[in-house]
């Protein structure tokens, strides 16, 4: 990727979350140390206020893809997503790399593919790059990565591997933990309470299965938070939430049962009529 006329863009998945932004931020920092310039781009919106706070406080330069006149000769690295997935817009340019931890189909026409489904976050993958190259992780980058790791593993309770634990220990020492804790604690806004109220009124629980439908819509990140909330109920082992957002129905699944793999379930349910994937839990 070094030199030439090729510009390099790090593409986070659409409507990016903390892990996607933090992993892209860290990868950009690592590439710059190797003399490679890159820009972070995304499609959709930055939906969560806590993510906007992270971006602002850590001065993360991330911009909508529409801000750039993308060209066919541009190189694109997909971070925390995969080429071919519906939540990763096929932008103009050549996808030269995919770095992800979700359960996805590995693309055959991409030069570099690093998919580690046993990792709890993409930040952990990027952390291993720093470690293997023996590069020190700066305080802002460590802070972002620790936030991303915590968010994607539900505070180290979901899909955690030994690599995630090692990353957590090293990042914790280097990060601004005051900022990390502030962002992790302040996830819900007062305007979100209406969705919690609606969910509490409409949720149906049957034999450890919880279901709720939002006919008037609910953003995808908040759906995930609501799923985590319902999974804290002692009587619930599996949560399925869905929302009518524009012309789409968005789903969010959560599971505490190893035999009920969320990624497998949603792919079977939507086979032929939609797309799904993500985490086992």
Whole-angstrom CA distances from 111 to 28, 130, 203, 251 are: 19, 21, 45, 31
pLDDT above 80 (res 7): yes
Tell me the HSE value of 254 on the side-chain side, using a 13 A CA sphere: 26
Tell me the HSE value of 204 on the side-chain side, using a 13 A CA sphere: 6
Taking the alpha carbons at both ends of the chain, their separation in whole angstroms is 35
pLDDT above 80 (res 5): no
pLDDT value at position 84?
A: 81
Least confident of 79-88, 120-129, 172-181: 79-88
Among the CATH numbers 3.50.50.60, 3.50.30.10, 3.90.1640.10, 2.60.260.20, which is that of 8-185? 3.90.1640.10
pLDDT band at 21 (very low <50, low <70, confident <90, very high): very high
Tell me the HSE value of 134 on the side-chain side, using a 13 A CA sphere: 0
- Under 8 Å CB-to-CB from 181, ≥6 apart: which residues? none
Give the pLDDT confidence of 35-92 residue by residue, as tens digits. Answer: 999 999 999 999 889 999 999 999 999 999 999 999 999 999 999 999 888 789 999 9
Percent of the chain whose predicted confidence (pLDDT) is above 70: 92
Q: Using CA atoms, how far apart are residues 142 and 120, in angstroms rounded to an integer?
A: 16
What pTM was computed for the model? 0.86
pLDDT value at position 247?
A: 86
Domain ranges of the chain: 8-185, 190-269
């Amino acid at each position: 990727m070094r030199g030439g006329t090729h510009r390099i863009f790090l593409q986070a998945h659409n409507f990016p979350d903390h892990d996607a932004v933090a992993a892209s931020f860290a990868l950009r920092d690592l590439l710059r140390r190797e003399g490679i310039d890159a820009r972070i781009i995304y499609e959709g919106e930055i939906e969560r206020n806590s993510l906007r706070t992270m971006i602002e406080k850590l001065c993360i330069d991330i911009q909508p893809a529409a801000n750039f006149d993308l060209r066919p000769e541009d190189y694109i690295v997909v971070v925390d997503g995969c080429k071919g997935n519906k939540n990763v817009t096929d932008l103009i340019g050549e996808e030269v790399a995919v770095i992800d931890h979700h359960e996805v189909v590995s693309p055959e026409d991409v030069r570099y593919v690093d998919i580690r489904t046993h990792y709890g976050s993409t930040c952990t993958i990027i952390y291993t790059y720093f470690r293997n190259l023996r590069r020190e992780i700066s305080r802002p980058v460590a802070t972002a990565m620790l936030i991303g790791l915590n968010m994607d593993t539900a505070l180290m309770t979901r899909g955690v591997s030994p690599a995630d634990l090692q990353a957590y220990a090293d990042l914790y020492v280097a990060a601004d933990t005051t900022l990390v804790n502030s962002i992790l604690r302040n996830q819900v806004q007062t305007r979100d309470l209406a969705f919690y109220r609606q969910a509490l009124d409409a949720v149906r629980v049957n034999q450890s299965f919880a279901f709720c439908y939002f006919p008037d819509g609910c953003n995808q990140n908040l759906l995930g938070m609501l799923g985590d909330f319902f999974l804290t109920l002692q009587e619930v082992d599996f949560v399925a939430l869905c929302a009518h957002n524009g012309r789409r129905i968005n789903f969010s699944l959560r599971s505490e049962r190893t035999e009920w793999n969320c990624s497998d379930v949603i792919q079977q349910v939507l086979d032929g009529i939609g797309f799904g994937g993500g985490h086992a839990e």
